[in-house]
């Protein structure tokens, strides 16, 4: 793809993505989309005694898994197209960026402290470890199928 085509595709994707994100905001902020775009993550985090960043990233990982499945299998498993999943993941990254800034500003700090609770495992690293394990299992299954064994891990 040449640079001009690439730039046009990126511009069209981002314009569509931003319009869709604005229309979804009200639905995901309990009617307070113009007051605090992080309301959903803060509210759930408070109820579950979790940092809102962990709540937000859990939502994002659903899209990471879906995109990973697409990359591995070259197909989608729902009605949502891959562009929608990519756009959602971009939105969660932007929300995470602004949530980090919001939390630091509330503490009058430049950078937030880590999410590690002394004596407990780091939940973000544990989630990442489990995701890597699942991706490795999926990659091994795909390799088994390509090698002609006819059966991947898990009886596929």
pLDDT tens across the length of the chain (156 residues): 999 998 999 999 888 888 887 777 766 666 555 678 898 899 899 999 999 999 999 999 999 999 999 999 988 888 888 888 898 899 899 999 999 988 888 887 655 455 556 566 666 677 777 887 888 888 787 666 666 655 444 444
CA distances (Å), origin 110, targets 37, 105, 107: 20, 7, 9
Pair 50, 125 in one domain: no
Count up the domains in the chain and report the number. 2
CA distances (Å), origin 49, targets 2, 41, 90: 49, 11, 26
Pair 23, 75 in one domain: yes
Pair 109, 140 in one domain: no
Kindly state the tokens that stand for 91.
Answer: 């939105």
Pair 25, 57 in one domain: yes
pTM of the entire structure? 0.63
Pair 66, 131 in one domain: no
Pair 97, 121 in one domain: no
Pair 91, 14 in one domain: yes
Pair 73, 56 in one domain: yes
Domain extent, residue 128, equals 116-156
Q: List the alpha helices (DSSP H) in 52-106.
A: 52-73, 82-106
Query: Nearest Cα to 44, choosing from 33, 36, 52?
Result: 52
Pair 88, 41 in one domain: yes
Query: Nearest Cα to 57, choosing from 112, 14, 97?
Result: 97
Pair 75, 24 in one domain: yes
């Amino acid at each position: 793809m040449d640079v001009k085509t690439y730039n046009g595709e990126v511009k069209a994707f981002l314009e569509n993505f931003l319009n869709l994100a604005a229309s979804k905001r009200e639905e995901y902020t309990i009617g307070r989309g113009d007051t605090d775009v992080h309301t959903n993550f803060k509210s759930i985090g408070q109820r579950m005694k979790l940092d809102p960043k962990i709540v937000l990233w859990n939502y994002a990982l659903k899209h990471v898994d879906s995109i990973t499945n697409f990359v591995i299998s070259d197909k989608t498993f729902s009605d949502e197209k891959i562009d929608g999943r990519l756009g959602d993941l971009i939105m969660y990254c932007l929300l995470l960026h602004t949530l980090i800034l919001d939390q630091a500003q509330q503490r009058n700090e430049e950078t937030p402290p880590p999410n590690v609770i002394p004596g407990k495992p780091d939940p973000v690293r544990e989630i990442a470890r489990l995701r890597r394990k699942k991706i490795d299992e999926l990659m091994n299954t795909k390799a088994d199928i390509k090698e002609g064994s006819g059966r991947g891990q898990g009886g596929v």
